[in-house]
Amino acid sequence: MSPVPPSSARPDEVSFGRDAADELAGAAPAASDRQAGAWSPGSPPRRGGAATQAAAAPSAAAPEPDVAGEADAAIATRGLTKRFRSGQLAVDNLTLRVPRGSVYGFLGPNGSGKTTTIRMLLGLVAPTSGGHQLFGVTMPDGAGAVLPRVGSLVEGPAFYSFLSGPANLARCDAADRTADPRTAAARIGEALERVGLTAAGAKHYRAYSLGMKQRLAIAAGLLRPRDLMILDEPTNGLDPQGTREVRGLIRKIAADGTTVFVSSHLLAEVEQISSHVGVMRAGQLVFEGSLEQLRGRDAARIRVRTPDPDVAAQVLAGLGLADIQRQDGQISAQLGEERPEDVCARLVHAGVRVAGLDTPRASLEDLFVELTGEGFDVNG
């Protein structure tokens, strides 16, 4: 395992959790409420729209490989919206695209609509409006055809407590009308081996540890070769060892060419494995793209420690730097196009005594919190 980058600093998580809670308490935006309400009466022309889009896409081939026809994406949603009967708008006009072969990190605080989205993707919950396709097959009509290609872990493992692990997997396999019963025993053994549960064999499920349960759920997804694995919080509640095991497992699955869609409320959990991320906030997708694109959102800043802040501020302003902030003995500004060494030279030239100078970059975690939390000052 590669060393955990400083971005996963625990204090961030704490503040992130608090922000998320505030956001949940305060912020179901009234405007989007009305919007979704307007869609719900007539189911919109989702299929026609999707088909047109797919046909039009090749001609509009953009430099980015991600932007392709919906049929080429492992998951493509279009205005997916879910309003529960309680009136709660869980998912609001969600349009996301998961490229084939990617490891897609689906991020957001608890309660931001990730699980509801996943339930809709799998056909467990019917969208209020909008629709989606898996591998170009429209759901939920095509569920029988496409879901056998999809393995899933939804909101934690769930098995019969009075059955052993293998018996539970046999039950899952029996429910799959496209699975070959003659190979069931071999496939079950193989899946258990892949997740390292062979030894647990005869134990009843109720005697499993949380990590074992989680791994058994992943094994259920591996009963047959899959084109897509949808994993909802696969490391939830696991200790660091368990987390590492699951992460390694996901890497292995992805290495086999399976598209992996993994949700988490912790960026640190997925940033090491995912090629793409989507960030949810209060039911809306606030960012979708590669990790590099997420990093690119960060505007570099320069930070100067000096006993002469007034002069320094003048110099920085003179250079045309934006967003100049002063804080006891420290002054910072957006770097823009300037190079830090040039700025330093100008400061010194102007007689500013520079005690220290650096260009802090926000960690991914900070960016993530900025996206998902309300009014969090990244550089504060």
Partner 1 sequence: MSTGDLATAGRPPAGEPPAAGAAGGGVAWRPSAARAWLRLYRSELGLIFLRWRNVALLAVLAAIPVLTGVALKLAAPSGRGQGPAFLDQVAGNGVFLAFLALTVMLTLVLPLAIAVVSGDSIAGEAGHGTLRYLLTVPAGRTRLLAIKYGALLTFCVACCVLVSAVALATGAAAFPVGPVTLLSGDTVSLADGLLRLLLVTLYVAAGMGALAAIGLAISTFTEHAIAAIAAILVIAIASEVCDNIPQFSVVHPYLPTHWWLSFDGLLRMPIAWGEVGHGLLSFGIYAVIFCAVAWARFTSADVTS
What is the nearest approach in angstroms of partner 1 to the Cβ of residue 145? Answer: 4
Span of 11-19, 35-43, 50-58, 152-160 interacting with partner 1 by CB under 8 A:
152-160
Q: What is the dihedral of CA 159, 165, 168, 173, to 10 degrees?
A: 130
Site for partner 1 in 59-98 (CB under 8 A): 84
147 binds partner 1 (CB under 8 A): yes
Comparing CB distances to partner 1, the nearer of 10 and 182 is: 182
β-sheet bridge partners, residue 229:
151, 260
Span of 11-19, 137-145, 233-241, 329-337 interacting with partner 1 by CB under 8 A:
137-145
Site for partner 1 in 98-127 (CB under 8 A): 119, 122-126
For residue 262 the two structure tokens come to 């993994």
321 binds partner 1 (CB under 8 A): no
Cα–Cα dist 50/137, whole Å: 11
What is the nearest approach in angstroms of partner 1 to the Cβ of residue 93? Answer: 19
Measured in degrees and rounded to the nearest 5, phi and psi for residue 370 equal -60, -40
Cα–Cα dist 143/123, whole Å: 7
DSSP letter at 374 equals S
Candidate list 106, 159, 261, 287; residue touching partner 1; CB under 8 A: 159
What is the nearest approach in angstroms of partner 1 to the Cβ of residue 115? Answer: 9
140 binds partner 1 (CB under 8 A): yes
Q: Is the CB of residue 300 less than 8 Å from the CB of residue 361? A: yes
Comparing CB distances to partner 1, the nearer of 145 and 345 is: 145
Locate tokens 């699955």: which residue? 253
Cα–Cα dist 87/103, whole Å: 33
What is the nearest approach in angstroms of partner 1 to the Cβ of residue 152? Answer: 5
Q: Is the CB of residue 273 less than 8 Å from the CB of residue 95? A: no
Q: Nearest 5°: CA angle at 180, between 179 and 182?
A: 145
Cα–Cα dist 71/134, whole Å: 8
143 binds partner 1 (CB under 8 A): yes
Site for partner 1 in 203-222 (CB under 8 A): 217, 220
Give the residues lining the site for partner 1 (CB under 8 A). 84, 119, 122-126, 137, 140-145, 147-148, 150, 152, 154-156, 158-162, 170-172, 174-181, 217, 220
